[in-house]
Copies of this chain bind each other. A is one copy, B any other.
């Protein structure tokens, strides 16, 4: 899915196309917007441009301002602003769930840095963590995808670590994790058992053995990632509590606030460690 989306240059170009004929304020930086919308499709970018125009119009502005684009981005990413009444109990679970994502993003290095965490509900989502990659990435190693799995599963892991039980709030995270392991096992040959072939079948039937192998490898990848997520959040429980309490207090934390709260916490990622090694080798 990451591969199919337009790249940085492509996104800037698409934004240019859809703001053609709309006067832009001096502060508008399409490149910056493009940088913050990695992974979005062309249709979603068009949507952002249109929403920005609507916001500007509502504010009685002739020109589209950077703030209009930012509001539009949030709406498209997390749905329309709509306050939901959540119970106090749900609010606490939410705070820890989102804190779990944030802490794990930090622990797994620069793969998927956190831009913003909130427990203010938007659209379908009760809360959300906005991740923006620092640089465009096309190639991912198995180890990096495994880190990504940990980030997806860290919300549920935090619920388990703190409350000893889990909720249906992680349904969407589980779906994302399952889709990723599916691609890893079916398309990328990243299972232990089938490193040199795909296991997707369109026009013919696979054997029961192959289907079992696929399911087994998918299960192994998510189980290991979830176990690792549990271990890491238990180890960094103090950081998890700090962020959760700050969320209960302020509701939304931006990049800088997170950085301060996660100050002394180092990275714990097999992928980033090895990346260092790789660089050394590749640079020789």
Binding site for B on A (CB under 8 A): 3, 7-9, 83-87, 89-90, 92-94, 96, 124, 126, 135-143, 145, 153, 156, 162-171, 174-175, 177-178, 181-184, 186-190, 194-198, 200-201, 204-212, 214-216, 218-219, 222-223, 225-226, 274-275, 277-279, 281-283
Which of B93, B138, B226 is in CB contact (< 8 Å) with A139? B93
Q: How far is the CB of A1 from chain B (nearest CB, A)?
A: 11
A212-B219 in contact (CB<8A): no
Q: Which of A156, A167, A175 has the most CB of B within 10 A?
A: A167
8 A-B contact pairs sorted by A residue (CB < 8 Å):
A3-B168, A89-B278, A89-B279, A92-B283, A168-B190, A170-B189, A186-B204, A197-B219
Whether A196 contacts B171 in the complex (CB less than 8 A), given A126-B138, A142-B166, A214-B207, comes out as no
| Given A139-B169, A207-B208, A208-B212, 13 new contacts (CB under 8 A) | A9-B85, A86-B136, A94-B139, A96-B282, A143-B165, A156-B189, A166-B190, A178-B197, A194-B219, A195-B223, A196-B223, A206-B211, A206-B215
